[in-house]
Amino acid sequence: MITEITTVVEAGEGAVLDVLGPRIEPLTSREESAYCVMKGTMPPAVSVPLHSHEDAESFYVLSGEIQGLVQTERGLEWQTLKPGDFVHVTSGAKHAWRNLSHERSEVLITCTAKLGRFFREVGRPASDRQTPMQEQVRGLAEISERYGYWMGSPEENAAVGISLL
């Protein structure tokens, strides 16, 4: 009797979720217990605000150019990442993302199952344009608090070059 089944997700088969501009496509199922893998797409002129969480996550740049705000010995610094670059964000490290290029960027994200559940909960179907941005931001703040995730204030984001408007 076969007890383990291999899962194959074909290109374009997964649900695409909008997370206030960036889009994610979960590649592992909700039932995965050890980790979550997602494809992330960030259009030009879009940012992911300053935040932190106890869940480690890793990013492998597939295409385009993206800037990551990462914790270094000197403090938070922006680093430009290109295809083939890899970033591992440790538990509790503050970080942010932005795409200042004219092309979309794509990354492969590996994270905890808990963080994967968070993204599924906070994301909206990419085709859903009905929910006003203010309501989406409020929902993100509420869900982040429930998960114990920290989000930078508008002032903290402005200090690192991110506008939340």
Confidence class of residue 6 from pLDDT cuts 50, 70 and 90? low
The number of folded domains in the chain is: 1
Position 157 in a domain: no
Tokens describing residue 65: 């150019």
Residue 100 within any structural domain of the chain: yes
Three-class SS of residue 67? Answer: strand
- CATH code of the domain containing 145: 2.60.120.10
Residue 144 in any domain: the answer is yes
The pLDDT, as a whole number, for residue 13 is 64
Q: Give residue 60's domain range.
A: 17-151
User: pLDDT tens digit string along 51-60?
Assistant: 999 999 999 9
Residue 10 has pLDDT above 90, yes or no: no
**Phi/psi at 163 (nearest 5 deg)?**
-100, 130
pLDDT (0 to 100) of residue 104: 96
Contact 75, 61 (CB under 8 A): no
Tokens read off for 20: 């206030």
pLDDT value at residue 21: 86
The answer to whether residue 6 is domain-embedded is: no
Distance between CA atoms of 43 and 27, rounded to whole angstroms?
20
Q: For the whole prediction, is pTM greater than 0.85?
A: yes
Domain contains 34? yes
Let me know if residue 5 belongs to a domain: no
pLDDT of residue 5: 63
pLDDT value for 46: 92
Q: For 38-86, how does the pLDDT look when each residue is reduced to its tens digit (9 = 90+)?
A: 999 999 999 999 999 999 999 999 999 999 999 888 999 999 999 999 9
Give the pLDDT of residue 34.
Answer: 82
d(CA 21, CA 43): 7
DSSP 128: -
**CA-to-CA dists, residue 154 to 30, 50, 79, 148, angstroms:** 32, 9, 21, 19
Span 99-147, pLDDT tens digits: 999 999 999 999 999 999 999 888 888 766 666 666 777 788 899 999 9
Domain assignment present for 1: no
Residue 93 CA to residue 66 CA, distance in Å, equals 18
